[in-house]
Amino acid sequence: MTKAVSGFSKLSKEEKIHWITTNHFSNPEQAAQEIKKYWNSDSDLQKLHDEFIENTISNFYLPLGVAPNFLINGKNYTIPMAIEESSVVAAASKAAKFWSNRGGFKATVISSEKIGQVHFIYKGDTKKLKTFFTTIKPKFFTDTESITKNMQKRGGGILEIELKDKTAELEDYFQLHVTFETKDSMGANFINSCLEQFAKTLKEEAKTFELFSEEEQNIQVVMSILSNYVPNCIVRAEVSCPVTDLKEDKHISQEEFAEKFIRAVKIAEIEPYRAVTHNKGIMNGIDAVVLATGNDFRAVEAGVHAYAARNGKYSSLSHAKVQDGIFTFWMEIPLALGTVGGLTGLHPLVKMSLQMLGNPSAHELMQIVAVAGLAQNFAALRSLTTTGIQQGHMKMHLMNILNQFNASEQERKEVVKHFEKHTVSHSAVVDYLQTIRK
């Protein structure tokens, strides 16, 4: 059992690695070599990565791939994707090529409002609190002028501040519910700075409000924090074409494909067990682009899945229909993204990814990311309703299996050739590899 360590964050990187390897590995020297193998040879670049987080000991690599041929609102994109899962980039690329010949993807930002809240406890007359809030509301704006000045120059800022009574759900609980526009930044630091100032103003002004009793003057702020649930920061992505243009699989007619595809989507709309996996497929595309562009994929995941359950039951994010002979597949999702601030100006590959996309605005990036998710969903549903998903996925997974067993270049060629005509499975690949080696 490892002993607790004190002052770990104050150790040098070498000292941290020495403590970790001697306390957690049977061969400390080998473990240290493995950790250092992933250091960047450029010391300045490594120092930059070291300072992204605390207690950095090495770099954890993910593949950065690209999916070309995305036609979005009439403009061609090559989309960067950082992800480890086999077949995701290939599936996105295939869907992009399919729709590039059928008018491409259409994407629209419907709204881009973000939310922050000051959660507080007030024990007193609610009518008095409402009067107090109306009286001091202008001061919330004036007290944050130094914070909002630059954001306002870019067309953003505080849109609205509301007092919400939540006492029916939790005793003495109220909140300041604040709506923001943060333009090209994700805006987390901006929002949180504003909220903390609101909390100070709220508490200070309460102490001298003449209608309050002594107890009512003692407003207790529990916390001030932005919300990652952004149901009014919505982007729509869609594709459409005549059903007759859906012909690509010789084993199924266009009409049957459209019918099966729509049925698969409707199953995800009503069956949560399927909806979770259905939406996970969408997030394969979304997370990969969010990560490649230096945005917070955990915040995006949390917000998107909350949105999928907004009507009281977890459901599909995407929808499909045929009307007057036209097949339409679409999705509306919340995406709070930024193209300035955070890692966007620090991480070299994030900067390259944004350059690859033409240095998009936050609204343009929302459209690109939503399209990547819709493309991924289309590719998955297309496979599921025709050939099945495992055939393509396992062929992509073949290289991972061969790497796991340290296959030589000659062995790789023989195995790949063999499985051009045979079904790929982990056990089948291992068995064939063993046969070759005998």
| Residue 128 falls in the annotated catalytic set | no
Mean pLDDT to the nearest integer, 154-180: 97
Asked if 393 is an active-site residue, the reply is yes
Residue 233 pLDDT more than 70? yes
Domain covering 65-110+233-388, topology: 3.90.770
pLDDT digits (tens, 9 = 90+) for 3-27: 789 999 999 999 999 999 999 999 9
Tell me the average pLDDT across 394-420: 78
Does the domain at 114-226 match CATH 1.10.520.20? Answer given as: no
Q: Which of 276, 265, 262, 261 is nearest to 313 (CA)?
A: 276
Give 166-175 contacts, CB < 8 A, sequence gap 24+: 167/126, 172/121, 172/122, 172/123, 173/119, 173/120, 173/121, 174/120, 174/121, 174/122, 174/129, 175/117, 175/118, 175/119, 175/120
User: What's the confidence (pLDDT) of residue 395?
Assistant: 59
Which residues in the chain are classed under CATH 3.30.70.420?
114-226
Catalytically annotated residue among 94, 114, 183, 393: 393
Tokens 């009067």, located at residue = 131
Residue 269 pLDDT: 98
184, 196, 287, 296: the catalytic one is: 296
**Contact assessment for residue 209 and residue 132, using Cβ atoms and an 8 Å cutoff:** yes
What is residue 97's predicted lDDT score, i.e. its pLDDT? 97
Residue 432 has pLDDT above 90, yes or no: no
Strands (E), 122-256: 157-165, 173-181, 220-226, 234-242
Among 260, 280, 305, 395, the one annotated catalytic: 280
Mean pLDDT of the region 404-421: 81
Note the pLDDT of residue 393.
54
Residue 435 pLDDT grade (very low, low, confident, very high; cuts 50, 70, 90): confident
Q: Among the options 13, 18, 50, 85, which is catalytic?
A: 85
Q: Dihedral angle at the C-alpha atoms of 389, 391, 392, 397, nearest 10 degrees?
A: 110
What per-residue confidence (pLDDT) applies to 437? 82
What pTM does this model have?
A: 0.88
pLDDT digits (tens, 9 = 90+) for 112-147: 999 999 999 999 999 999 999 999 999 999 999 999
Q: Looking at the chain, which residues constitute the CATH 3.90.770.10 domain(s)? A: 65-110+233-388
